[in-house]
Each structure stands twice: as C-alpha cells, then as structure tokens.
C-alpha cells in the first residue's frame, strides 16, 4: 500500500509538469471546449443581452437587444433594454427612433439621441418604460439603455 | 516521524555544473518555445528583449538548481514579474483605451481585462445563470474570462496554493515591499487576522451572487491602483478610488514593509483563501521534521504568510495558508523543512528530488507568465529611451 | 425582497449561528432524534424568530412615521443612526473579545423553566428571543426598516434580513458541521465588521444628502 501511494504520488508530481505545459499550449483549445460545453456567456447586465431586432438605415444600423430583467434566480422588477447605433461614421447628428420592445405592434417609446453631445431623451407611450438610464459613447457608435419595469 | 525522516540528504549537497546544465536543458527548451511563441522575433527591440528575458529566466533557474535554494532566486523573478506586469499592463491600457480609467462605455463593450481574483465571485452566478458577471470578453484575448479560468485550473491542479508565490501577477508587489527593510518594525500580528481572507471571500462570493456584480472589483481590490480603476464620474467612484488607493498603500506597501510579511496576500486576499481551500487536491506540500528542528524559530520569523508556528511544527506540517515559496526551507539551517510529495516516503534522501519535481512545474508557470510581461516591459522601455514614447 | 436587508442578514448569519448554535442547537435538538425531527424544531425556532423580527419591523415603522416626517430630518437622523450603529458593528466585528451577543444563547435557564411548563413552546420561544436581541447588526436592521417608506416595506426589510440570517440554519440539523465553532465565530464577526463599513458609507451619504436639503 505504501509503495502504491508513493508511486501515485510520483505520477501525480510528474503529471503536474505535463499539466503546466498543457495549460499554456492548450489554453486556446481548452477555452473553446469549455465555452462550447457550458454555453457560458457574459451576463446581460453587462453585454445588454441578445440582439432581437436590427434595422438597416443605409448609413447606419440600429440594434435592439432583448429586455433584461435577469436576476440570480427568476427576474427583477426593474430592468432595462439596450439600443445600439453603429457605425459611428454613418450616424446623423440627431437620431430619433421609435421602438416596440414587447412586439405587440404598438410603439412603446421614442429615443432621441444627440450624437454630438450624447444627450438622450425619452418619449414613452408605455407605462412600463420608465426613463433613460444612460447613453454610452462606444468605440464605433452609440448605445442607450432605457429603464423598464415588469408590465 | 523520527524513523521516517532518517536519512534525509541535506539540500545543500548540490549537483556539479554539468549536471546542473543538463537539469536546466528542458527548461531552456521550454522557455525558448514559450517566450517566442514558436517564432523568434525579428524586430531589434523585441529580439533584444527576448534574449535578455531568456537569459535572465534561465540564470535564475540555473541558480535554483545549483545552489539548492528556492525562494532566494524565485523572489527576484517574482518581484520583477509583478513590476513588469504593471508597466506592461498600464502601457497597454493607455495604448488601447487612452487611459487607465474604465468608463461605463468600456464596461458595456466588455473591455475590462479579467484577472484570477474574479473567479470565486463568478462561480455561483455561473452555475445558476450560465453567465459570467464580469464586463470582459469570454474568449479570444489575453485577459479573457475563460482563458483566465483555464490558467487558474491548470495552476491549481499543478501547484495548489503555490499559485500565490509562483503564478499570481500581483503577489510580487507585496513581496517586493516586504523585502525593503532588513528588520521588521512590527513583529506581533494577532493570529485572528489570518481569518480575514476567508471572511472577505465569504462576503464577496455572497454579495456578488446577490448583486450579480463582481463586488471585490467594485469596492475592495487594492490592485486597481496600479491597473485600472473606474472613471471618476460621481461621489461613489471617488469613494471607490479612495478605498483602492488606501488599501494599496496600507496592505501592499506600508504594512508589508513594516512587518516583512506579505500582508495583502496572507491577511486580505480572498483569492488566497480560495486557493487554500482548493489546495486540498494538490500533491505538493511543505513538511517539517520536528526531530531535526532545534526550535530556533527562524522559519516562524521568516514565513511571509504566517503559515508556520510552533503548533504546526509539532505536527510536522505548515498551515493551509502556505504558499510554497520556499523561504522557510531556505532559512532552515538544520534542513528540517523540505518540499514533499503526498504519499511518498519521507526517507531515503529524496528531498532534493521532491524539490525538483515541484520547482519544474512551478517554474514553468512563473517563467511563462513572467516572460511575456518582462519582454513587453523591456520593449516599452527601449522604445521610451529611443523615441521618447512607449508606443 | 429587499436586497440590502438580505445582504445584511447574510453577512451576519455566520456570526449569528456561531453564537447561537453552540448553546442552542444541541439543546434544542436533543440527541439522536433524527434529521426530520431536527428540521421541524429548527422550523419552529425560525418561525419564532421571524415573529420577533416582524414585531420590530412594526416598531421601526411606528417610530419612523411618528418622528421622522421631513426628508432632510429623516435623512440626517437615519444617516447618524447608520454611522453610530455601523461604528458599533465594526467594533463588534473586529475588536470586541466576548462572544455572548445572542440573547437566546445567554438565557438558557429561562428556557429550561419554560420547557418545564410547555415543552412544545420552547423552540419558537427561543427563536422569538433571538429575534429581540439588540446586537449591532440587529440595530442596523432596525434603522434600515425605519428608513422604509411604508409598513409593508419595513416588514419586507426585516423579512429579507430574516431570510439572510436563516440560510445558515438550514445546515443546523447536521450538527457535525459545526465542529469548528470558534473559527466560524471569528469569520462571522469579521463579516459583520466589513458590512459595518458599507453602512458607514450609506450613513455618510444619507447625512450629506440630508445636509444638502437643509
């Protein structure tokens, strides 16, 4: 038993060298495999969530993300929806665009964004749409987060 | 223990030059491949940096093998690694983002580089929501979240809490300041503070799970001071910045210098506490032979992490907080402390074999991790000298 | 659920169980009664505690609605209370040496007398007593409940605080888990101390806000 334990100890110690090498040489492979296996993504509170609708305006595109109410378990009462406009070079000085975030066929809110100053205003026609949380000057465009509450 | 440890060969009986070179040959080959990524650089500044780094790293390893001392040489590379990491990291941030500050736009674009300390905070949310609560990229960059997870997993399996003395890119700062003075100005630290890292770990894990945000990064990380910090836009961000700077000055600079211990690493860092818990799966440990011990307490005085005391010596072990730096082993003139591999006998003069089997994987991590940053810092410095700009 | 109440409860849950459990749990659970019975007893204990907390939530709201009318006055008084109690919590967490902070743990004899009269009442009564203990985290929870704008929110705050502290009691029937009470006590108290810094921050912000309105 002592000899077996000793043998296993040495095996494990030598394996540590192989693990060290594999960690660096296989980092890219292991990372991809882990992502593929677990399907892990960045939390939508940071990424804004999946894009559910894209509108092409010719010089620029609008991307509407899904409403984010994600909590650790279940959903929060208040959340947000993120709208992106890109590329920066094609954006007009003032963007004014309406959105139907719950796909009920009615426009829920209009966001007006001044791309020179970053000032964003909201005209809401749905009581679940609360306010502009913030506008963000991205590397290649702009984004706005609109605060929502659960309907 | 007495019977078991009979026949330990002193670690000072070291190999000759030729045997040392032979033992170093594998590391030379590995470091050439790791540092060059399989292709030697052609740009003069990069080639110079590559050669200097390769020689520096391999001289350190040569001395480790030749002299039988571990910590003495490890600490030189470890501190250099931390300093070069800070230089390289800040220079890259300024080059890419134009500032060390992390703006709200950077956060929603996922431009925050991820470090290993994030890992414990992400586990519960990842298990329950299949998402990572960190504003970075999942894959594909040097500081991507999953890449960091893979690195941490490999290092944890191979080294356990040895991670803190051989892999962590922050630890060298703490260690550097702890070596500033010859004598400790503060000698007694209440042992109850050893539990603070576990408390911080418990709190940040729970708070991060409940708030779905990396609580430690937002409020408590001392290293934000020398990496990146939230853009100052409100009273809240001012307070966060004050906390980061205060913790850095107190825990990484002043207290380590006054106590000659790695205070941040041993009395605050939640990642250290996490590593102590995950260390259970690791095969390497540090053992003490109470029979050989003459109770000089040199090891207790020198241990940078409060991991060895009379109680642990009597048990022939170090505490679970031991970072396997080797400082106590170097300090023990009786050769009563040594690296050990679980399951193997303590007899038969194999101590140096155990040590080598540990320092090979440990040094592969240290050399590879430090190599990139040291090269980059040298290149930036050369550019700064020649052109007046780092970029 | 009120997140701040829950986090305050969570941070104090370890200290709470570490101070209550060594005295109460073995006493309440007896020996060798089985996990199911243990859970039943713990359930009664927690129910008693919840009643105690809700009573205090009601009191907090009453105090708040009777005294704290103006926004500036409200912010300043609650801000000062936060600062004072968080200071107490930091002291309790990092510097106070004695461990007997839990009312229920200190009053074992009272329960023994009660047990003789009505044994079935004991766990709930012990729980109620812990719900009325004036330890620093509890005082902060009281202030937090007083800060709420309605009775419902005050009750919800204390309910969240209760949930946070109770999570750790789920493990209580497995008494073997608590073999290292002293370590748990230190870790738990330090966790309370760190949360004290958060409330110190909140109190300072509220006080500044109150002064600004003035």
Same domain, B24 and B128: no
User: C7 contacts in B (CB within 8 Å)?
Assistant: 206-207, 210-211
Which residues are registered as beta bridge partners of B340? B285
Which residues are registered as beta bridge partners of B102? B230
Same domain, B210 and B357: no
Of the listed ranges B41-45, B149-153, C128-132, the one predicted with least confidence: C128-132
| Mean predicted confidence (pLDDT) in B302-316 | 94
| Contacts of C23 by beta carbon, 8 Å cutoff, 6+ apart | C102, C104, C105, C108
- How far apart are alpha carbons A19 and C116 in whole angstroms? 64
- How far apart are alpha carbons C164 and C157 in whole angstroms? 11
Residue B5 scores a pLDDT above 70? no
Q: Which residue has the tokens 């009470």?
A: C181
In this predicted structure, what is the pLDDT of residue C212? Answer: 67
In this predicted structure, what is the pLDDT of residue C198? Answer: 80
Q: Which of residues 143-172 of B touch A (CB under 8 A)?
A: 144-147, 149-151, 153-155, 157-159
Domain count for chain B, please give it.
3
Q: Report the 10 Å Cβ neighbour count for A139.
A: 12
In this predicted structure, what is the pLDDT of residue C100? Answer: 47
Same domain, B131 and B248: yes
Please write the tens of the pLDDT for every residue from B194-231: 999 998 998 899 889 888 999 999 999 999 999 988 88
Residue B8 scores a pLDDT above 50? no
**Backbone phi and psi for residue A65, each to the nearest 5 degrees, phi listed first:** -85, 170
Domain count for chain A, please give it.
2
Helix (H, G, I), strand (E, B) or coil at A138: strand
Helix (H, G, I), strand (E, B) or coil at A145: strand
| Mean predicted confidence (pLDDT) in B109-137 | 94
Helix (H, G, I), strand (E, B) or coil at A109: strand
Cβ within 8 Å, pair C190-B199:
yes
Closest chain A CA to residue B285? A13
Same domain, A49 and A31: no
Same domain, A69 and A138: yes
Cis peptide before A87 (omega within 30 of 0): yes
Q: In angstroms, what separates the C-alpha of B309 from chain C's closest C-alpha? A: 18
Higher pLDDT, B315 or C56: B315
CATH number at residue B305: 3.30.70.20
Same domain, A99 and A119: yes
Cβ within 8 Å, pair B131-A40:
yes
- How far apart are alpha carbons C80 and C180 in whole angstroms? 37
Same domain, A19 and A48: no
pLDDT band at B7 (very low <50, low <70, confident <90, very high): very low
**Is residue B335 left, alpha or beta, with left meaning phi > 0 and alpha meaning psi from -120 to 50?**
left
Structure tokens belonging to residue C17:
């169980």
In this predicted structure, what is the pLDDT of residue B1? Answer: 40
Q: Given B233, B266, B282, which residue is the final one in a domain?
A: B282
Which residues are registered as beta bridge partners of A62? A55, A85
| Residue B243 located in a structural domain | yes
Cα dist. B9→A2, B187, B313, B337 in Å?
A: 21, 33, 20, 12
Same domain, B131 and B268: yes
Same domain, A13 and A58: no
State whether residue C15 sits within 8 Å of chain B by CB. Answer: no
Same domain, B187 and B210: yes
Structure tokens belonging to residue B120:
């414990």
- How far apart are alpha carbons B15 and A18 in whole angstroms? 24
Q: Provide block-wise average pLDDT over 10 residues at a time, chain C (214 residues).
A: 76 68 57 65 81 85 76 76 83 68 54 59 70 72 80 87 80 56 74 81 81 66
Cβ within 8 Å, pair C6-B203:
no
Same domain, A24 and A72: no
Per-residue pLDDT in tens (0 to 9) along chain A, 151 residues: 788 989 999 999 999 999 999 999 999 999 999 999 999 999 999 999 999 999 999 999 999 999 999 998 888 889 999 999 999 999 999 999 999 999 999 999 999 999 999 999 999 999 999 999 999 999 999 999 999 998 8
Q: Which helix (H) or strand (E) holds B200?
A: helix B196-211
By Cβ distance, the residue of A6, A20, A71 closest to B343 is A6
Same domain, B288 and B278: no
Q: In angstroms, what separates the C-alpha of B230 from chain A's closest C-alpha? A: 15
Same domain, A29 and A79: no
- How far apart are alpha carbons A135 and A142 in whole angstroms? 7
State whether residue A140 sits within 8 Å of chain B by CB. Answer: no
| Contacts of B273 by beta carbon, 8 Å cutoff, 6+ apart | B197, B198, B200, B201
Bridge pairing between strands B131-132 and A41-42:
parallel
State whether residue B212 sits within 8 Å of chain C by CB. Answer: no
Cβ within 8 Å, pair B195-C186:
yes
Q: Which residue has the tokens 């780094």?
A: B53
- How far apart are alpha carbons B82 and A15 in whole angstroms? 27
Residue B137 scores a pLDDT above 60? yes
Q: Which of C170, C155, C203 is nearest to C2 (CA)?
A: C155
Q: Given B267, B282, B297, which residue is the final one in a domain?
A: B282
| Residue B104 located in a structural domain | yes
Q: Which of B358, B370, B359, B362 is nearest to B35 (CA)?
A: B370
Same domain, B302 and B269: no
- How far apart are alpha carbons B244 and B366 in whole angstroms? 27
The interface predicted TM-score (ipTM) is 0.91
Residue pair B10/B18 in contact (Cβ under 8 Å)? The answer is no
| Residue B247 located in a structural domain | yes
Same domain, A14 and A82: no
State whether residue C6 sits within 8 Å of chain B by CB. Answer: yes
Which residues are registered as beta bridge partners of A123? A110
By Cβ distance, the residue of B199, B210, B211 closest to C187 is B199
Cβ within 8 Å, pair B203-C195:
yes
In this predicted structure, what is the pLDDT of residue C112? Answer: 58
Report the half-sphere exposure of A106 (CA within 13 A, side-chain side): 6
- How far apart are alpha carbons B321 and B267 in whole angstroms? 10
- How far apart are alpha carbons B64 and B60 in whole angstroms? 6
Same domain, A25 and A69: no
Full residue range of the structural domain in which residue B291 is found? 283-342
Q: Which of residues 180-199 of B touch C (CB under 8 A)?
A: 192, 195-196, 198-199
Same domain, A62 and A135: yes
Full residue range of the structural domain in which residue A25 is found? 2-38
Q: Which of residues 291-330 of B touch A (CB under 8 A)?
A: none
Same domain, A51 and A109: yes
Helix ranges restricted to H, B268-342: 270-278, 298-302, 310-315, 327-331
Please write the tens of the pLDDT for every residue from C44-90: 878 888 888 888 888 888 887 777 666 667 778 878 888 888 888 78
Closest chain B CA to residue C11? B203
Supply the mean pLDDT for chain B: 91
State whether residue B29 sits within 8 Å of chain A by CB. Answer: no
Domain edges within chain C: 3-213
| Residue B5 located in a structural domain | no
Residue pair A66/A54 in contact (Cβ under 8 Å)? The answer is no
State whether residue B126 sits within 8 Å of chain A by CB. Answer: yes
Residue pair A45/A102 in contact (Cβ under 8 Å)? The answer is no
Q: Which of residues 237-296 of B touch A (CB under 8 A)?
A: 283-284
In this predicted structure, what is the pLDDT of residue A77? Answer: 87
In this predicted structure, what is the pLDDT of residue C139? Answer: 79
């Amino acid at each position: 038993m002592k000899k077996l334990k000793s043998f296993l100890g040495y095996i494990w110690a030598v394996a540590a060298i192989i693990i060290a090498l594999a960690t660096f040489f296989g980092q890219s492979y292991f990372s991809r495999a882990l992502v593929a296996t677990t399907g892990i993504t960045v939390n939508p509170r940071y990424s804004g969530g999946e894009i559910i609708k894209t509108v092409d305006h010719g010089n620029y595109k609008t991307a509407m993300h899904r409403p984010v109410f994600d909590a650790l378990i279940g959903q929060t009462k208040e959340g947000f929806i993120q709208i992106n406009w890109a590329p920066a070079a094609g954006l007009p000085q003032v963007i004014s665009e309406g959105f139907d975030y719950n796909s009920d066929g009615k426009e829920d809110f209009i966001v007006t964004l001044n791309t020179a100053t970053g000032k964003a205003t909201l005209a809401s026609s749905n009581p679940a749409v609360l306010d502009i949380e913030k506008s963000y000057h991205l590397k290649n465009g702009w984004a706005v987060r609109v605060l929502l509450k659960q309907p | 223990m007495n019977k078991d440890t009979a026949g330990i060969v002193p670690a000072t009986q070291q190999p000759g030059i030729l045997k040392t070179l032979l033992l170093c040959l594998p590391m030379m080959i590995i470091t050439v491949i790791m540092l060059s990524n399989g292709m030697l650089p052609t740009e003069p500044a990069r080639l110079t940096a590559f050669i200097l780094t390769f020689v520096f790293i391999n001289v350190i390893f040569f001395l480790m093998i030749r002299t039988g001392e571990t910590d003495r040489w490890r600490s030189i590379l470890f501190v250099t690694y931390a300093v070069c990491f800070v230089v390289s990291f800040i220079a890259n941030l300024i080059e890419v983002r134009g500032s060390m500050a992390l703006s709200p736009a950077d956060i929603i674009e996922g431009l925050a580089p991820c470090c290993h300390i994030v890992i414990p905070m992400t586990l519960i949310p990842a298990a329950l929501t299949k998402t990572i609560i960190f504003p970075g990229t999942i894959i594909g960059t040097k500081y991507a979240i999953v890449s960091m997870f893979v690195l941490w997993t490999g290092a944890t399996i191979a080294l356990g809490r040895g991670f803190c003395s051989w892999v962590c890119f922050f630890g060298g700062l703490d260690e550097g300041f702890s070596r500033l003075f010859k004598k400790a100005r503060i000698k007694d630290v209440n042992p109850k503070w050893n539990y603070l890292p576990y408390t911080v770990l418990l709190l940040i894990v729970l708070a991060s799970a409940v708030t779905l945000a990396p609580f430690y990064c937002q409020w408590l990380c001392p290293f934000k001071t020398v990496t990146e910090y939230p853009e100052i836009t409100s009273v809240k961000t001012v307070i966060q910045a004050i906390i980061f700077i205060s913790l850095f000055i107190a825990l990484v600079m002043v207290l380590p210098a006054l106590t000659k211990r790695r205070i941040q690493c041993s009395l605050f860092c939640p990642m250290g506490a996490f590593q102590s818990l995950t260390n259970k799966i690791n095969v390497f440990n540090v053992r003490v032979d109470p029979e050989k011990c003459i109770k000089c307490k040199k090891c207790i005085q020198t241990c940078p992490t409060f991991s060895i005391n009379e109680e642990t010596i009597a048990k022939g072990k170090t505490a679970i907080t031991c970072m396997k730096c080797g400082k106590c082993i170097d300090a023990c003139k009786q050769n009563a402390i040594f690296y050990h591999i679980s399951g193997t006998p303590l007899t038969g003069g194999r101590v140096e074999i155990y040590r080598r089997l540990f320092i090979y994987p440990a040094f592969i991590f240290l050399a590879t991790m430090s190599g990139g940053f040291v090269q980059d810092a040298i290149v930036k410095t050369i550019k700064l000298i020649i052109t007046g700009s780092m970029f | 659920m009120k997140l701040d109440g829950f986090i305050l409860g969570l941070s104090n849950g370890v200290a709470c169980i570490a101070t209550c459990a060594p005295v109460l749990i073995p006493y309440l659970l007896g020996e060798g009664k089985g996990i199911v019975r243990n859970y039943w007893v713990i359930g009664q204990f927690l129910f008693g505690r919840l009643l105690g907390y809700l009573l205090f939530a009601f009191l907090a709201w009453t105090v708040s609605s009777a005294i704290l009318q103006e926004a500036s006055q409200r912010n300043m008084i609650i801000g000062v209370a936060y600062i004072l109690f968080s200071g107490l919590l930091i002291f309790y967490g990092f510097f106070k040496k004695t461990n007997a902070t839990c009312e229920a743990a200190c009053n074992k004899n009272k329960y023994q007398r009660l047990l003789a009269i009505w044994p079935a009442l004991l766990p709930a009564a012990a729980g109620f007593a812990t719900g009325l203990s004036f330890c620093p985290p509890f005082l902060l929870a009281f202030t937090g409940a007083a800060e709420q704008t309605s009775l419902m929110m005050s009750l919800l705050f204390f309910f969240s605080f209760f949930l946070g502290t109770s999570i750790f009691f789920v493990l209580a029937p497995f008494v073997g888990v608590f073999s290292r009470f002293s370590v748990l006590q230190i870790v738990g108290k330090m966790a309370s101390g760190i949360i004290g810094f958060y409330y110190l921050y909140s109190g300072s912000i509220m006080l500044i806000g109150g002064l600004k309105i003035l």
